[in-house]
Structure 1
Amino acid sequence: MSIRYDLYETPDIQQTGEQQPLHPRVVINGTIDQNEFLDRVHKFTGISRSLLSGAMQSFQNELRDLLANGWVVELGDIGYFSVSLQGPPAMKKEDVHAQSIKLKNINFRPGTQFKKEVGWQMRLERGESFNRSHGKGRSEEECLTIVNEYLRKHPCLTRADYCRLTGHDKKRAINELNAFIEQGVLMRYGAGKLVVYAKTME
């Protein structure tokens, strides 16, 4: 197997008007969800699927608790997890209170050896992203076919999944997903950044 890349012109940040050099970006194949990931590990190791699922949940719970208590967590050669904070701008320490500080992000820094191994494993070939190869994008019928095919293999999809699969931008993706909901094809679950879409229950 190989990883595909496409070439994009670097943004002209200085606004010189001159042609900018090209840089490569990965053409994403899709998203491997937790169930498929566990299935793959089970297939190649023979470790019980239920044991893997339980271990994954235990890792997640312990990682959550350690990060929430200020630890940096190393997961073998995979790398390190840590958290960063954000708060209001202030010039004096006494102007900042704990209630005004919150989580900014969960950070991941890959281990040096793991990063090298990923690089050694990569086999690159030229490809094109959906955004560039389909001009104005796909028709609604084509998009619905893609969605149905995706949902045969996965329990749900996100707006980001839809953008990746169809090549449509965020605004168009939301409009089309809402149209599918109105048609009774899809149902929306969750709220905010946790929204997912699934087939309407028969």
Structure 2
Amino acid sequence: MAEYQMQASNLPSEDGEKVLFPRIKIWGQVDLDYLAQRINYSSTFTPGDIIGLVKSLTQAIAREMGEGHSVKVDGLGIFTPSLGLRKGFEREDAGQGGQKRNVRSICVDNIDFRADKDFIQETGMNCRLDRSQWKFRRSSDRYTAGERLELAQNYLKQYPILKVSDYCELTGLLRNAAARELKHWSETPDSGIGHTGRGSHRVYIKFIAE
């Protein structure tokens, strides 16, 4: 059974009152191996067959999107590629004579997904909700973004690296919000913050723009 909790929106209503909306509690994540085992119990396909088919499907979808198509999978949804700038490149200037971007500075940076209505309905049919006793935590608003940046800069004057967990303790932000903001600071040339490492091993360091 899934659980939900009512959470206050960051934006107030027209009357200035807090708006509450239901939010489902995600307790964990399942992977393709787990799904393949579950499908295997109710079908004649082996887990290997299922995993191989899904991987072939994802490769086929990626190939079509790479050629400029959106891909609709009936019962699942529509996949559409989204472009962005490669790291280190500034946005194109729309003014006459401004800096222009070429293909080397542009890349696919995300995949937009719009769920099929049947997929949403199927999920709803399998969802049995109960109100949770667990409360959603919210990031602290004790500091402004500028004050949080100053806290990070001062921290890096004393220590060689700043981890996401350190930034959480400094600012009161929850982990996802802290990770997003640190990533933003590290991509802002005059923030004084850079990064090294990848994925879960990424840490933040003092950076002086030349």
Structure 1-normalised TM-score? 0.59
> Corresponding residue for 2:187?
none
Query: Is the helix fraction higher in 1 or 2?
Result: 1
Deviations 1:41-79 (A, max 9, x none): 111223112211211221122122222221111122101
**2:123 equivalent to 1:124:** no
Q: Larger deviation: 55-64 or 88-97?
A: 88-97
Mapped to 2, the partners of 1:52 and 1:26 lie a distance apart of 29
> Corresponding residue for 2:31?
33
Between 1 and 2, higher relative CO (CA 8 Å, sep ≥ 6) is seen in 1
Q: AA paired with 1:24?
A: P
Tell me the CA shift for residue 194 of structure 1: 6.3
Unaligned runs of 5+ in 1: 133-158, 160-167, 175-190, 196-202
Mapped to 2, the partners of 1:192 and 1:86 lie a distance apart of 20
Residue of 59, 65, 73 corresponding to 1:61: 59
Structure 1 residues 98-137: aligned runs within 5 Å: 98-129=103-134
Q: Larger deviation: 84-93 or 65-74?
A: 84-93
CA RMSD of aligned residues (A): 3.2
Q: Percent identity?
A: 21
> Corresponding residue for 2:199?
193
Q: AA paired with 2:24?
A: V
Mapped to 2, the partners of 1:76 and 1:194 lie a distance apart of 35
Mapped to 2, the partners of 1:12 and 1:76 lie a distance apart of 35
Structure ID, larger Rg: 2
Structure 1 residues 1-202: aligned runs within 5 Å: 2-12=1-11, 18-87=16-85, 88-91=91-94, 95-129=100-134, 169-170=174-175, 192-193=198-199
Runs of 4+ in 1 over 4 A off after TM superposition: none
Tell me the CA shift for residue 38 of structure 1: 0.9
Number of corresponding residues: 142
Q: AA paired with 1:89?
A: E
